[in-house]
Every structure is written in C-alpha cells, then in structure tokens.
Structure 1
Amino acid sequence: MTITRFPRITSALALGALLGACSQPIDLDLRGRIGSDFDTSSAAQNASVANRPQPDDRGVLSYPNYQVVVARRGDTVADVAARVGLPADELARYNGVKTTDPLRRGEIIALPRRVAEPSPATGATTTGPIRPAAQVDVATLAGNAIERSASTSPKPAGTTAGVEPVRHKVERGETAFTIARLYNVSPRSLAEWNGLDQQFSVREGQFLLIPVNRDAKPQVAAAAVTQPGAVSPTPQPPSASKPLPAETLPPAGAAAGAATAVKPEPPKQPVADIGQSQSKPASNAAMVMPVAGSIIRDYSKGRNEGIDISASPGTSVKAAASGQVASISTTAEGVKFLLIRHPDDVITVYTHLDNITVKKGDAVSKGQVVGKVRAGDPSFLHFEVRKGFESTDPMAYLQ
C-alpha cells in the first residue's frame, strides 16, 4: 500500500511544481495535446474577443437568424417569458429547463420564435436585428444617429452592427472546454459571453453564443492555402514553341546615325492664362454650403457629428451635392431631417427643416432647394457629411 501511494504523491507534487512554474495560462482542456504538431492553444488564449453586444431593456439580443435573452440577477425562466411575452412552458421546453429554474445573471436563454424587435421604445439604440456592417442601410443608420442626437436624454450608444455569433446547442457529454476547443475560443470568453458559473457548467440542451473575434467579418469562402513544408506547384515556364514577336531592325547604315537624327523638342513658349486652367469642372466631391450663414457650432467627433449653420427661419436649404433622397423622417421631438445619398458611399444629412419640397427617391442636383429652415431660438440648420457609417468634418467637402 505504501509502495503504491508514494509514486502517486510524488507525481502530484511534480505536476503541481510544473504547473506553478508555467508563466503562460494553463491549457485546461489540453488543446495542445502535449507534443502534438497541431497546437491551437496559443490562438485561443491570445484571440482578441469582442465584447458581447448590449441587449435592450427586456434583455433581448436580436440577430437576423435568431433571438436570445440575457437573464438578470434573480430571474427564473417564467420571469424571462413574462418580460418578452412568450408562454413560460414553451420557453422552458425549448431550453431544456423548468419554468421555475433560477437563472444566473448574464445567462443566455434562446427564444423559440421571434418577438418584437429591439427599438428605442425598448431601450435599444437602433431598430431591428444586429447585422453585419455591409448589410446595414446607411440611411437607416444615419437616421438613428439623428434620433439619438436630438434626444435631450440620450441613452448610451450600443452596437448597431456586428457579426452574428454561432449559436451552439449543448449535446450530451459536451463540456465548456470541449465546446471552446471545437470553435477555437478560450473557455473564459465562452463563460463571459454566456454567464457560466465558476465551474464552467453547461447542461444538455443549453444554447451558447460562441464569442466572435473583435475584427471578425462575415464569413467568405477561404482560398486554399498550402501547409508549411508542402510542395508548392511549380509555375509553368513560357513555352519555347511559341516564337518571339517579329522585330524590324533598321538598315545597318542608319543605325550609326540614329542618335544624331533625333533632335530634342524646343521648349514650349509660355502662354498667357486667359482662363484655360478654369475650364476643368470642379471635383465631384466638392459641395456647396446648404445655407448662407455663420457656423455657430463646429464639428466635433462624438459630440456634434456635423456643423450648425445660423440662418433665419424660412431660409432656403439647398442640396450640397447631386444625389438621391434616401430618407425623410421626423424625430420623436418633432425635428424633421432629410438624407441624400451621393456617389462613393457619401451621405449628407440636413436637420431642423420645414416645408420639405422633395420626396424619398427623388434625384436632386447640387444647389437645388430641398426645404426651408424651421423656426427656432436660435434658428439654424444642422448639416452632416457621412462616409459610410462614420461622420466626417463637412468643412473638408465644402467649397
């Protein structure tokens, strides 16, 4: 008995000393396989994982293909069901739990069918599901930004675009470690995204969101890559059977005098500038001031996404550049705004308007009147230029 226990104690002490000497995070699920050539532990431990998006006031996170609810502290399945308007039995059965089962703070509960989309009315910053940036309509995004900026008590900015995470249903025998290994993420990030306990416990039938990389993009077909050490295909050499193009050589006697036959061109005489340099049209990116007036508030990223131009009530507002009307709407506080889409993914935004003279889909030309400045104290026009999803300083575009 003593003989068999001694090696075990020695082995345990040796293992403890070995783990204590490690300076890197311990690979608890042995992703490295101890000596195997294929090791993904470093990639999982060092991956730059994005934070989980913020849900709305109900706890709902909405994506194009599914919706989930983030539980609050003290919630039961019945509490979550009442908050989103679904039968408790249906929600519990879909997640493999009972209606009275307590839930951890941050735990993910999958919805069996879609409920009302998050919106400003439910505490979200945008309306609709979270979609990849390439699929988000720029006009909608800019319109939502106007809604937030016009509010007197704006809510914290949330995620308006992002990659839809994989939603994994736990099968019998799976653990958080095997699931993390399957998707090449760290168990800790998996636990943070799904509100797992300190033991990383999961249950059969549970739905988990797989963390996405901070720089992740919508998946596209990957090009084939040869493994290191593999033989790369040798490029085909030019065929010797194809003759070279025919080359006509000058007569032998002319070759020697060729250098002296070419005379340099005399320099061009200067010509008086009588407007020739002005004949080229101005750049398409150049814009005109939408109203004549002084700028009373400058552009400041994150604070004022455009410029405020002082103007008397009723002053005509002109399109800064040619384009197409993308959206016309009114904020919750009654402020009308207009969005015009231009080439190169540029959008101009005009707010504090009245008597708008165009409609959605209309083509407008640079300088065309699109509305009037509304009355205010003071009265002004708020003007933005957006490149894609980001606001830019309008002064860089204005002539």
Structure 2
Amino acid sequence: MTARLRIVSALALGVALGACSEPIDLDLRGKIGGPVDTSAAAQMATENRPEPDDRGIISYPNYQVAVAKRGDTLSSLATRIGLPATELARFNGMKVDDPLRKDELVALPRRVSEPSPLTGADVTGPIKPATSVDVATLAGSAIERASPTAPSVNRVVSGTEPVRHKVERGETAFTIARLYDVSPRSLAEWNGLDKDFALREGQLLLIPVAQKIPAATTKSNAVPVPGSGSPTPTPPSASKPLPAVTPPAASAGAAAGTAAVAATPKPAKPVADIGQAQATPAKSDMVMPVSGSIIRDYSKGRNEGIDISAGAGTAVKAAASGQVASISTTAEGVKFLLIRHPGDLITVYTHLDNITVQKGDAVSRGQSIGKVRSGDPSFLHFEVRKGFESTDPMGYLPG
C-alpha cells in the first residue's frame, strides 16, 4: 500500500500543477502591441530529465524506464537491460524489431537491478526525493569515484517522481501538455519524441516535473515599461504626521470656522482584515469526503494527504464547492479527480470508481462525485493543496 500511495502523491502533485484555469497562449497573440508578460512561461518551466546510468536505466521508487541510445532497436535495448524482448515489446505496444530514436523512453514491465556505481550511477538505488538525499553519502561516493585527471560529474540522484500518462486514442502531445500545463517541447524532450511529436496508443509518457518558482520573483524583479518612468519615491512628509500647529486667536467668524472643523467627525478607525472578504474555504467550509477513520495521517514529503478508511462502493462527496479541474487514471489504473476552489485551493481525491461528474462541471459541497474503489483495505486518499504545496487537510475539515 505504501508504494501505491507514493504513486498517488506524485500523480496528484503533477496534475495539481497543471490545474491552471488560464488557457495557454503559445503564440502570445494576446500580448501583441503591448508589453510581453513572461510570468506564465516561468510558471511552466520544468526541470531537466535525470541522467540514466550506463545501461540507460532511470530508476524511481515505483517504476523504472530505459533511455534508448542512437541505433538501438527494442531487441538490443532489451538485451542491454536484461529483459526478454517479447515482454518489453508487449508492455509498450511495440514490435521486437522496432527501431528506437535516441533518448526515446521505454517503460519497464518489472524492475531490473538498481543503478549503482558499477553501472555508472553515483549511488545505489532509485532516485530519492530531494529532502531524503544523504548529502554526505553522495559526496563521499563522488570523491571515491573521482579520477585524478578528470573529475567525475555528479548526476541527478534526487527529485520528484514524475507522473506517468498512458496515451489513449485521439490524444496528442499538445492535448497532454495542456492537461498537465507543461510545454509540448518539454514533454517531447523528456520522452524523446520526434520532430512531429508523434505518439502511439498505449505509450507511457513521463510528465516533466515543474520547477518551483518563488512567488516573490515576479514582483521583486519587475522592470518598469520603457517610457513609463521610475516609481515615484514616498515623500518624507508621508512617512510621519506633520507637527501639531496651534492656530492664532481669530475673530468670531474665524472661531465659527474653527468650531465647524472641530465638529467634523473623525474618520472611522480601520478594521483589521480577518478574512471577511476572502473567498478561501475556511475550516468550517469543508466536509469530510467520506465517513470513516483516518488510517494514515498527513506527513509532508511522505503522505501528502490523509487516507480515510471506507468500504468499497461508499459514496465520495466533494469537500467544498468548486469546479472539476481534471479526471484521469494513472498507469497503475488508479483513478483520480481534482476540484479547483476559490483562493488557489485544490482538493484531490484518489482511489475512486464510478465517477459521476465530468471535467469542467461545477460541484457543490457535499455533492456525490463517485464511489470508493475496492481494495485491501479499501480507502479514499484525500489532499488539500494551496497552489503548488500540499497542506494538512485536517486544517480545513471539521474537528
């Protein structure tokens, strides 16, 4: 069950990053005649694909892929990694003698031996999340493998496990890129697609991992538009109140004017903003998606949500009102659903079955959206995400 939950967490993260409500303006036609806004492009930036070992293997905690070399066929690749060519071909919907492009990815039906220093990797084992990498071990391994004349280049050994997407009939690289809010070019580079971005039905794609751009970057680095001038500095008189001045004695008329000024009511004292005007769902605004005991608590980096025990077929409810942002299935056959809410919140529901809503539907709090999938045990995995980051769902659910 732990491996399955890690798959779901990685999947939910990838799709949550792609749950953007704004359309992708690839040709910038909406910006012709005005300043070009590159913030959207920065948000779509992706990490580089990790380097494989000498065999061409990239190993993640829940799956492995092989990277083809120039001149490879499926048969020669199978021989190099130690798997039967027929099994590899059947899993990828290909023929044994099919040629492969350089850097094309081939999904492995089962695990082969893990990368290690003997296969050209820096450390033994799969790629780990960045938070769990032992820096001392990595550095020690790199020093041991270093050549006196040619220093070794450290390969990527940490990172987020990408989502795997199985291509269905009618899908293209552009529709898949739009679904996950990544650029078609990065999707092609990660998966070694040809210049036409051609796909085949049943092909397994790795969805590029998005870079985390600090929220303050676009504000602090903002450059004034040419001709608009520099921001006007705050005058010294605005930084502190002017000194009190006692008016000189005046005539009766002036006194009357002074009295009128004195009678002017003082402006109301500003009221602290405690969230009255915000649309973000508060703790009382969400309901439990299913009734049951929590069998696994939220743990940042380990379990990005909570697991709620529920019998197979139990109705799953929308935790809050919003719009269905995505419905899909992982390569392991686990269905998941995302709902976008005001305030940049997204709720994620996995291990579903019999989903009764469609992408784009508006749903209300408590509305049934599907049923719990059968399992041993059966449960619902539920997440609440604020932008890119997961948060503890218990902060939004009734105590």
Q: Identify the TM-score tier after normalising by the shorter chain.
A: 0.3 to 0.5
Higher relative contact order (CA 8 A, sep 6+): 2
Larger Rg: 1
Q: If the length of structure 2 is used for normalisation, what is the TM-score?
A: 0.43
Q: If the length of structure 1 is used for normalisation, what is the TM-score?
A: 0.43
